[in-house]
Structure 1
């Protein structure tokens, strides 16, 4: 789901004891229960409507209540586990003493932001009490109360982390600096209110970049910039920002995000992904560059189940890397192919990035899924061609073509797993069911097949999967919430209209606009990762693209592909480092090998951008 879900999964490895672990068990249990309720409600609603022709009227409202509580409690768990997405490139370049100090500063900055919006969130929940949910007949405050509860819990945990990790001296210096900056901004607020775009640059660019460099999680970077801008340069009450954050987390389409994340966990723990890899290896492993083809093909097929790059890479790499090494593949080349293959596969449905993009930009998810499959095949072709060129010296000694019996046996084992991606794609693309409904059906199918045919899942493992899914969901949705609030602030400041006028005046018409969009999303993919970049820029860029006559689906494929290339581009792209971690290869060793593969992906991107039929011809 790039998606953020990809970069978050391994973020907390090796972090040691958690600040609030003793008090987090009830929170984790409630979050796991809420996830089960959401999945059960969605499944029951789909079955009731399609089988019994009896829709559950109150189902969406209950699911919406559970979903926002799941998002906020999940974000609390993510704070406790240090799983919120952040940029650590600059932190790691500091000496250990300075790194600890800056991390303390970042935690206190997060706490200050959360405390600043805590009372507005409470006010918002009180205001929602005057709204009655039509089907349930209960006040909306029951749902909105999740916001102040989650915000206050996250603030408490951020402070606890800072106190546990830092000295009194460091805490005092950081608090003093934050207080001094806030006092200076308060004194300068009359001037900032008159500064116009200067204030926008200071808060929504300068403050966000500074916080990002300090290691503040990306979601809170957006929130800090937006809060400071609204508080010191406008007269807009902060409760309005809370409303925009709620809006960013409230789309029913987003209900499929935690369900597909859970599906990826099931894929990992049952061995369904490995069965697919083994089958493809029996088909292609004996030819020149065969294992590279298997790696790319496995990423392509497995991504159609999990929707997560982390899950894809973690499933494929351990199964294929030993044999690839035996055949003479260098580890750095394997990492390069793994990283760019994962970028290629991110448009294969069910992609969480595409689901979020469809929600934010108002584009048909079924159309995005159909188009994404074709675009991924184009990118797969260019990567496979490069892999074949690089495999000219591959050592094929002792490699034999498997017998027909072996191929059939691996097919029989993999068949139940192979059904799943085609079930998801055909059901959504054919209009049989919505993305959300398909995700729940896929989870039930995967659980049944995994437990009956692939070794099963213990209750303890299943519980840990639920908690991990809740944490990942919370981290994703907080990014969406803060990015939506920041995008709204940018729009209200008039930047959107100014940007539209500038972009519309670019030479080259729609071609020039696409070229600039590619550059913008390549850079944003490096810095922000997929979900925040999409949520931040989609409201600004899509109206311009429509004005220039660019098809929404075509534009979506171009920017998502550009963003994925940026995500894997060193030295900043976090996906590259994630691939290195999964493959246990030093980034310094792999950084020189990835460039030819990135160039191949870029060639594929240019082809997709130049030929709209690739994106829209099958719709």
Structure 2
């Protein structure tokens, strides 16, 4: 009964638009008071949830992405992507997807992609005569590649909560991220042929080479991160520190686009974002502890496996549960609550935890593209001055290829596990 009350209070507070971190904390506090446990337990468990070395990667990846945006480095990335794939039908749509692949290797967050590259991409597509619906839709969908291709803030949180190697999760996201990009490019090609969108530019090896040289050093950021982790040169947390130092070096020394005022501004934004994320992680840890202490995970597993032990059906049921949660809950909070519940189920039917991590994160990314949460849509609505409802309708066609990729990855786990097995398990 107290667990039922816990969820009633949580969803009641969310309905009243109380911030998710506060809602998790207050619902957990209510449970602690009702069950007669000491209130200090709330503070103790919250701090323990945030006291994790891998979580140190979060502020550094956020800082690196902020420096890239503030220092104008994203424009170099966009220019290189434009020269590389702008020759295809609907060229700027393909550029949009290509730039997201590159930026994904720097920021690790969909909202950072939408807020940073998104404004540049939509403005360029407007000037070239593309419809706002198409521009916003492809920008929103391509931003979800960020949390799949390493580095990825959601994968860091998943790795911490599930006690899974973050290095394995990172390399596992590379092929799925590229499949997402391929599916979106096919969608762009189909729309472009249907609506008669032009090629953005003619292909020129000389132009590609010029833009590559201009973007070469920024392009080394994902190489440093992924290469360092894959070779064991440093941990994901150390990789985040290296990425921040490299971004700072580029902005201050090489391109000289960052001054003290901009660095301070990015630092303040990083502190605010990190504080909000860690507060969610901390309060969600209390919530997850309450669920574990009351054997909610075991009961959920027992109930789910009582319906069927067929791995395929269990996977479909997991996808449905994650999708529903992702529609109403912020990604980090959803991960923190879902992981303790889903891990026992996955273990019993033989689902690899790395495979589970990728499909859970990709599934939750769909929640960023759909109301009522839809954080990416809110960001794009603000930077593009397109009404939120129009952003929703514009994005829906581009959700279809992402769902197809999610189903492919779900039922062909070898796609996800190929690189982890090659690099870590031999």
Matched residue, 1:185: none
1:208 matches 2:15: no
Match of 1:224 among 26, 42, 60: 26
Instruction: Provide the rounded CA distance (Å) in 2 between the counterparts of 1:265 and 1:563.
Output: 23
Match of 2:401 among 577, 593, 600: 600
Mean Cα deviation higher: 544-553 or 310-319: 310-319
SS in structure 2 of the partner of residue 346 of structure 1: coil
Match of 1:317 among 118, 140, 143: 118
Q: Report if aligned partners of 1:526, 1:574 keep a CA contact under 8 Å in 2.
A: no
TM-score normalised to structure 2 length: 0.94
SS in structure 2 of the partner of residue 344 of structure 1: coil
Instruction: Provide the rounded CA distance (Å) in 2 between the counterparts of 1:323 and 1:532.
Output: 35
Instruction: Provide the rounded CA distance (Å) in 2 between the counterparts of 1:323 and 1:437.
Output: 36
Q: Report if aligned partners of 1:382, 1:601 keep a CA contact under 8 Å in 2.
A: yes
Matched residue, 1:459: 260
User: Shift of the alpha carbon at 1:326?
Assistant: 4.1
Structure 1 residues 429 and 323, CA, compared in 2 at 3 Å: closer, same or farther? same
Match of 2:37 among 229, 233, 236: 236
Instruction: Provide the rounded CA distance (Å) in 2 between the counterparts of 1:394 and 1:327.
Output: 13
**What is the aligned-residue RMSD (CA, Å)?**
1.6
Match of 2:294 among 493, 499, 521: 493
Instruction: Provide the rounded CA distance (Å) in 2 between the counterparts of 1:242 and 1:572.
Output: 28
Matched residue, 2:218: 417
Instruction: Provide the rounded CA distance (Å) in 2 between the counterparts of 1:294 and 1:588.
Output: 25
Instruction: Provide the rounded CA distance (Å) in 2 between the counterparts of 1:264 and 1:228.
Output: 38
Query: Where does 1:21-420 land on structure 2 (aligned, <5 Å)?
Result: 198-202=1-5, 204-232=6-34, 234-392=35-193, 393-396=195-198, 399-401=200-202, 403-420=204-221
Instruction: Provide the rounded CA distance (Å) in 2 between the counterparts of 1:579 and 1:376.
Output: 21
Instruction: Provide the rounded CA distance (Å) in 1 between the counterparts of 2:59 and 2:392.
Output: 33
Instruction: Provide the rounded CA distance (Å) in 1 between the counterparts of 2:207 and 2:399.
Output: 35
Instruction: Provide the rounded CA distance (Å) in 2 between the counterparts of 1:500 and 1:580.
Output: 40
Structure 1 residues 224 and 256, CA, compared in 2 at 3 Å: closer, same or farther? same
Instruction: Note the alpha carbon deviations across 1:359-385, whole angstroms, 9 max, x for none.
Output: 110111111111111111111111111
Instruction: Note the alpha carbon deviations across 1:308-341, whole angstroms, 9 max, x for none.
Output: 2232123322333233234442112211111111
Mean Cα deviation higher: 590-599 or 368-377: 590-599
Matched residue, 1:471: 272
Instruction: Note the alpha carbon deviations across 1:18-70, whole angstroms, 9 max, x for none.
Output: xxxxxxxxxxxxxxxxxxxxxxxxxxxxxxxxxxxxxxxxxxxxxxxxxxxxx
Instruction: Provide the rounded CA distance (Å) in 1 between the counterparts of 2:375 and 2:241.
Output: 30
Instruction: Provide the rounded CA distance (Å) in 1 between the counterparts of 2:13 and 2:103.
Output: 36
Instruction: Provide the rounded CA distance (Å) in 2 between the counterparts of 1:308 and 1:618.
Output: 22
User: Shift of the alpha carbon at 1:582?
Assistant: 2.3
Instruction: Provide the rounded CA distance (Å) in 2 between the counterparts of 1:333 and 1:515.
Output: 30
Instruction: Provide the rounded CA distance (Å) in 2 between the counterparts of 1:585 and 1:618.
Output: 40
SS in structure 2 of the partner of residue 390 of structure 1: helix
Instruction: Provide the rounded CA distance (Å) in 1 between the counterparts of 2:126 and 2:261.
Output: 35
Instruction: Provide the rounded CA distance (Å) in 1 between the counterparts of 2:115 and 2:160.
Output: 28
Matched residue, 2:387: 586
Q: Report if aligned partners of 1:522, 1:563 keep a CA contact under 8 Å in 2.
A: yes
Matched residue, 2:337: 536
Unaligned runs of 5+ in 1: 1-197
Instruction: Provide the rounded CA distance (Å) in 2 between the counterparts of 1:248 and 1:341.
Output: 31
Q: Considering Cα pairs closer than 8 Å and 6+ residues apart, tell me whether 1 or 2 has the greater RCO.
A: 2
Instruction: Provide the rounded CA distance (Å) in 2 between the counterparts of 1:587 and 1:407.
Output: 36
User: Shift of the alpha carbon at 1:516?
Assistant: 1.3
Q: Report if aligned partners of 1:525, 1:563 keep a CA contact under 8 Å in 2.
A: yes
> Greater CA radius of gyration, 1 or 2?
1
SS in structure 2 of the partner of residue 618 of structure 1: helix
Instruction: Provide the rounded CA distance (Å) in 2 between the counterparts of 1:567 and 1:386.
Output: 19
Instruction: Note the alpha carbon deviations across 1:153-182, whole angstroms, 9 max, x for none.
Output: xxxxxxxxxxxxxxxxxxxxxxxxxxxxxx
Matched residue, 1:513: 314
- How many correspondences in the alignment? 419
Q: Report if aligned partners of 2:55, 2:156 keep a CA contact under 8 Å in 1.
A: yes
Instruction: Provide the rounded CA distance (Å) in 1 between the counterparts of 2:197 and 2:333.
Output: 43
Matched residue, 1:448: 249
1:566 matches 2:367: yes
Unaligned runs of 5+ in 2: 421-426
